[in-house]
């Protein structure tokens, strides 16, 4: 069972453009060349980054794998492969990758935006990207032609069970520790899960109790730096949080898949985006065991 992140990228046509495999291929190659970023590197059919066959940001043989094997790049409508699109038409590409590729995708998205300014691709206007996450045994089982799914929050709470272990590192943007000058690990756990529960309730109207998961997690705090609110507040006219202390750093969490995944899954899938009012930051998988 793999955990995939799917990003649906929308482009708008400026004047007129003919879309086919060759156009997409050179679009991708230009991204690699312009930004000195090798999108994927295969060795004997296995990606050297993720060490999983046929699971990479792009297939080995773009023209052939795109439709007939298990692509990581998928153009969501076949009609775009041989069609001349006129002004104001929309063009969309789904990028599918393992969760470890999420941070790489941010860099890649910047590359996409930059290449759209290239004279050869000036008629492609980057508009927006939508994302969701899903578990699947294989890429073949991902039906990207369907609309993005809308999940019920309780479905995820019921799905996450078992003895699988996971280690993740969380980089919150800013966390408010106004109740403690020297926050302990227990205090941080309590605060994060409390804020997370509040955030989920505000979005869904449902209460979620995460308290009993706290004892199951090995929770460590790394590299903390303290800020005063005024150090990063852009609008100095707001005085509501004067003299509150904030901390920026890294959390390292290790434990059973279930309790950690509730946090990770809900933040990602429901686009919570902010664990606190000051930004959730990013999550990186360090280790995953079955």
Q: What are the structural domain ranges in the chain?
A: 2-141, 157-289
Q: Which of 33, 49, 38 is nearest to 114 (CA)?
A: 33
CA distance 177 to 245: 6
Q: What is the pLDDT of residue 276?
A: 33
CA distance 191 to 108: 34
Q: What is the pLDDT of residue 120?
A: 87
CATH of domain 157-289: 3.30.70
Q: What is the pLDDT of residue 110?
A: 78
Return the HEC string of the chain. CEEEEEEEEEEEECCEEEECHHHHHHHHHHHHHHHCCCCCCEECCEECCCCCECCCCCCCCHHHHHHHCCCCEEECCHHHHHEEEECCCEEEEEEEEEHHHHHHHHHHHHHHHHHCCCHHHCCEEEEEEEEEEEEECCHHHCCCCCCCCCCCHHHHHHHCCCCCEEEEEEECCCEECCCCCCCCHHHHHHHHHHHHHHHHHHHHCCCCCCHHHHHHCEEEEEEEEEEEHHHHCCCCCCCCCCCCEEEEEEEEEEEEHHHHHHHHHHHHHCCCCCCCCCCCCEEEEEEEEC
How would you write the pLDDT of the chain (290 residues) with one tens digit per residue? Answer: 455 666 677 888 888 888 776 677 678 777 767 655 555 544 444 455 444 444 444 443 333 233 333 333 444 444 555 677 788 888 777 666 654 444 455 666 777 888 898 888 989 998 887 666 665 655 556 665 555 554 444 554 444 444 345 555 555 545 555 556 666 666 666 666 666 566 556 655 656 555 545 555 555 555 555 555 454 444 444 444 455 555 555 656 555 545 555 555 545 444 333 333 333 344 444 444 43
CA–CA distances in Å: residue 87 to residues 12, 13, 91: 8, 5, 11
Q: What is the pLDDT of residue 59?
A: 40
Report the predicted TM-score, pTM, of the whole model to 2 decimal places: 0.44
């Amino acid at each position: 069972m793999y955990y995939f992140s799917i990003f649906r990228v929308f482009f708008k046509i400026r004047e007129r453009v003919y879309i086919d495999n060759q156009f997409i291929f050179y679009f991708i190659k230009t991204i690699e060349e312009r930004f000195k970023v090798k999108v994927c590197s295969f060795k004997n059919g296995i990606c050297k980054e993720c060490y999983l066959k046929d699971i990479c940001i792009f297939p080995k043989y773009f023209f052939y794998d795109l439709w007939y094997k298990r692509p990581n790049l998928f153009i969501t409508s076949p009609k775009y492969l041989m069609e001349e699109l006129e002004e104001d038409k929309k063009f969309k590409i789904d990028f599918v990758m393992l969760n470890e590729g999420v941070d790489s995708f941010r860099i890649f998205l910047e590359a996409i935006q930059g290449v759209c300014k290239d004279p050869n691709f000036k008629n492609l206007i980057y508009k927006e990207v939508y994302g969701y996450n899903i578990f699947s045994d294989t890429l073949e089982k991902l039906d990207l032609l369907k609309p993005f799914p809308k999940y019920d929050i309780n479905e995820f709470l019921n799905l996450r069970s078992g003895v699988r272990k996971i280690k993740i590192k969380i980089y919150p943007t800013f966390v408010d520790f106004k109740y403690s000058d020297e926050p302990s690990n227990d205090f941080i756990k309590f605060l994060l899960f409390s804020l997370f529960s509040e955030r989920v309730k505000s979005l869904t109207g449902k209460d979620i109790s995460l308290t009993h998961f706290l004892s199951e997690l090995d929770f460590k705090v790394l590299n903390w730096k303290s800020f005063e609110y005024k150090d990063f507040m852009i609008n100095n006219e707001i005085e509501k949080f004067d003299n509150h202390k904030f901390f920026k750093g890294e959390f390292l969490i290790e434990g059973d898949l279930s309790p950690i995944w509730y946090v990770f899954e809900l933040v990602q899938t429901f686009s919570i985006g902010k664990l606190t009012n000051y930004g959730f930051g990013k999550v990186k998988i360090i280790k995953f065991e079955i």
